[in-house]
A and B are shown apart, each in its own frame.
Chain A
Amino acid sequence: MIFLPIILLVIILNLVINKVKSEPTTSTLTEAPTPFVSISESSPRWATDSAFLSVESELKTIKEELNKPQTDDFPLMPPRFNFDLGFDQ
């Protein structure tokens, strides 16, 4: 079952590759302009540091989780039973 989607993807990809190969090449293609990303010189290093920003948001999530009141939606405390049938009364 695991390999079915993989085999399908392999087939589709090979078809796409073959199609691309059969098409005319570079002469008709134009290079897309590189998007210009403006970074303000005054913005601090950390403000554009994705690793740092992700740590900050991860910490925020953990703190929120820890401060949440503890409620178990599916409590599983062992039930109580009386194993004395009480026929000897």
Chain B
Amino acid sequence: MKKIWPIIFVSIFGLSLNFLGRKHVVLGVSSQEFQQAYQEYISASSIYQSDYEKFILSRSKYLTFMSISSESEAIDSTKKMIISRIDFLVKYVTALRIKLALETKIIDYQENLLYLQLDNELTSLLNSKELVNSAQDLKGLNDVESNSGRKYQTISKLAYKSLGLINYRQNLKVVTDLRKQVDILNNKLEQYANLGTYDLTNSKNRFEQTDKQFRDLEIKIEEDKKKFFGLVDSQNDPEKAYLDYKNMISTQKSEIINLFSVFEEIIFLIKKT
């Protein structure tokens, strides 16, 4: 029986080491992986820019000469540009998915749903390459393009929602962390009061007041997020909805900073004991 304790101890120690080595890993995703995905996204963007410029040149040539050879060249360069754009978007969605996973840790239903929707878009983007390759003429490519435009509206809405959720989660985390600190400080004051060095009557109300301020702020953060999601779903301009939400996020941050005076007050009380 005695021999089993070292084994249990070492097993726990070994497992702890294993988890320590995986710092910042969420859903099998690491920050290094995100940086790599981001670099790939930037490279894909340059390739797309270059292919887009070639497409503009060949289109202008076709519109000037209207010859069979210029049409064939225009079809080829258009296909190439659309395929590059799909690759660029695939890299963008991949980087965004990783960032969403890293920053939010996909811990609630909404985050999980968004993650799955981004996953679906990724698959759909990869499949759409076949449609581009099978287009026979410029009319066929025009049809593919209007379909891509509609699809991109969905992707951009998902992207703005993801960015909004990342901002939301960051502020919520700060408030949750700060509430924990309030609890610790409250316990400290009670502990000091029990030792007979401090009279709690004055600070009790202050703590209750502070707790309410933090709860109100958490409610505000939730409500702002709901409002933002509603705006993205109902409007055709998700970018505007996101920029408005960024302003709400800044206001939330200012309110958090304002609450710091409470901590200074509590710390002062503790140091006085």
Contacts and interface: CB of A to CB of B under 8 A. Distances in A.
Interface in A52-79: 52, 55-56, 58-59, 62-63, 65-67, 74, 76-79
Nearest to A70: B250
Given A14-B6, A59-B260, A78 B159 contact: yes
Nearest to A7: B14
A87 B74 contact: yes
B23 interface: no
Contacts of A49: 188
B174 interface: yes
A17 to B, nearest CB: 6
A32 interface: no
Main secondary structure of the interface of B (DSSP, over half): helix
Interface in B252-273: 253, 256-257, 260, 263, 267, 270-271, 273
A13 B267 CA distance: 46
B6 A17 contact: yes
Given A81-B85, A83-B146, A5 B18 contact: yes
A17 B4 CA distance: 12
A77 to B, nearest CB: 7
B177 A85 contact: no
B188 A58 contact: no
Given A55-B184, A78-B159, A83-B148, A9 B13 contact: yes
Interface residues of A, number: 37
Contacts, number: 115
A39 to B, nearest CB: 16
A2 B181 contact: no
Interface string B47-86: 0000000000001001100000000001000100000010
B112 interface: no
Interface of A: 2-3, 5-6, 9-10, 13-14, 17, 44-46, 49, 51-52, 55-56, 58-59, 62-63, 65-67, 74, 76-79, 81, 83-89
Interface of B: 6-7, 9-11, 13-15, 17-18, 34-35, 38, 45, 59, 62-63, 74, 78, 85, 88-89, 92, 95-96, 99, 138, 141-142, 145-146, 148-149, 152, 155-156, 159-160, 163, 174, 177-178, 181, 184-185, 188, 192, 195, 197, 239, 253, 256-257, 260, 263, 267, 270-271, 273
18 contacts: A9-B10, A9-B13, A9-B14, A10-B10, A13-B9, A45-B273, A46-B273, A52-B185, A52-B188, A55-B181, A55-B184, A59-B263, A66-B253, A74-B38, A79-B92, A81-B149, A83-B148, A87-B63
